[in-house]
Structure 1
Amino acid sequence: MRRIDTRRQAKGVTLLEVMATMAVMLVGIAAAMTVVSQTSNSNRRTLTANQAELIAERTLENIRAQGCTVAPPCGNLVGLDKSREIFYQTAGGELLTVKPAGLIARQYEVALDLDGTPLVGSFENATTGLGVPAVTRNLVDGKPGNVVNVRVSVSWEEPGRSGRQVYVLQTRMAP
């Protein structure tokens, strides 16, 4: 006579094992979605900063193209000191001075600061000098420098961050 084994191994998986596997998979999928979301946010912030850099470079190149007068040092640029301009950049890369209707565009504010001998009320004109090293320092024995410090600041509002984000380019110009 044949005995029936009551301790027979169960075949397949139990409901508890399936639920535990699903929970582990859900945690993994949630982690992957978080990585994708954070990567997307980081890419957007990087793109925005790169666009601000391009705007600053373009502005600085426009100033450099104007050149500097000899006397007073870069006196032709005095009117640009403390000037501000608003730009809007579309997703297509267009740089506009007027907010486009019906398009999503990021607003950038460009601020200029020039420091030098003809710019008495400029940002760095204090008892400490005009920048470091001072633009009025002697470059040749006994002759003051003929140099102007040019700073271009581009700022924008970044969603999810407090305050304005700023990108700054600075150079010095001489006739």
Structure 2
Amino acid sequence: MTSASRQHSRGVSLLEVMATMAVMLLGVAAAMTVVSQTSKANRRTLTANQAQLIAERTLESIQARGCTPAPSACANIAGLDGNREVFYQTAAGDLLRQPPSAPGAIARQYEVAVDVDAEFLASSLEGGAAGVGEPAVNRDLTSTGLKGNVANVRVSVSWEEPEREGRQVVVLQTRMAP
């Protein structure tokens, strides 16, 4: 065997092994960062979707009540203005009005706020009488010329998110008329 052939058959040096390990370690660290960030984004999206479902459910229950024409338009939902409720959504998907009592149960707290703006609730209109919105809530909707027959109903669902500043919120809104 010649010295040239002996030189080609030698093993991998310690320096080469360490360089390979360093490159692999960087690749694994990058992959772990991507997985972690994706997981956080998925959690935020799930939380926002749950909040939207709670808002939809609340708004649908208000719409199911309807908007009565007398004594004043939509007076039956006027009592909902300023209403606030707290719900807890568990990891199992249960929506509770109280924190779960099971030990170790995980639940996110959501606050649901209802805002009803209508001409018959003058104090509810942002900006007073001038703030009737566009189109105005006091416009004619019926052939009888009855004014003030529209209510703007807004449902806000908010929650606190770890690692984010302030409360996060989802808002749904509709206008109701008799």
* TM-score greater than 0.5 by the shorter chain: yes
Q: Does 1:106 align with 2:108?
A: yes
2:119 aligns to what? 117
Task: Report how far residue 130 of structure 1 moved.
Answer: 1.8
Task: Report what 2:78 is aligned to.
Answer: 78
Instruction: Provide the residue aligned with 2:164 in structure 1.
Output: 161
| Structure 1 contact 117–136 (Cα < 8 Å) conserved | yes
Match of 1:56 in 2: 55
Deviation at 1:62, TM superposition (A): 0.5
Q: Tell me, what secondary structure is at the counterpart of 2:43? A: helix
SS of 1:110 mapped into structure 2: strand
Q: Structure 1 residues 151 and 46 mapped into 2: Cα distance closer, same or farther (>3 Å)? A: same
TM-score (norm 2): 0.89
Letter in 2 for 1:133: P
Equivalent position SS for 1:39: helix
Helix, strand or coil: the match of 2:69?
Answer: coil
How many matched pairs? 173
Post-superposition Cα deviations, 1:76-134, rounded to whole Å, max 9, x if no partner, equal 01110011000001001100101112211110000000111111111525253222322
1:131 is aligned to 2:133: yes
Moved more, 31-40 or 145-154: 145-154
Runs of 5+ consecutive residues of structure 1 not aligned to the other structure: none
1:53 maps to a residue whose letter is: Q
The alignment-based identity, stated in percent, is 66
Cα displacement (A) at 1:138: 4.0
CA deviation vs aligned residue, 1:58-80 (integer Å, no higher than 9, x gap): 00010011111113110001110
Distance 1:6 1:83 in 2: 88
| Conservation of the 8 A alpha-carbon contact between 1:108 and 1:156 | yes
Instruction: Provide the rounded CA distance (Å) in 1 between the counterparts of 2:161 and 2:125.
Output: 26
Amino acid at match of 2:97: T
* One-letter amino acid of the structure 2 residue matched with residue 104 of structure 1: I
Which TM-score applies when normalising by structure 1? 0.90
- Name the one with the larger helix percent: 2
Aligned to 1:25: 24
SS of residue in 2 equivalent to 1:149:
strand
Q: Is the 8 A contact 2:118 2:148 kept in 1?
A: no
2:15 is matched with: 16
- Cα deviation 1:31-66 (Å, max 9, x = unaligned): 000000011101110110000000000000100111
| DSSP 3-state at the match of 1:136 | coil
Residue 89 of structure 1 aligns with an amino acid whose one-letter code is Q
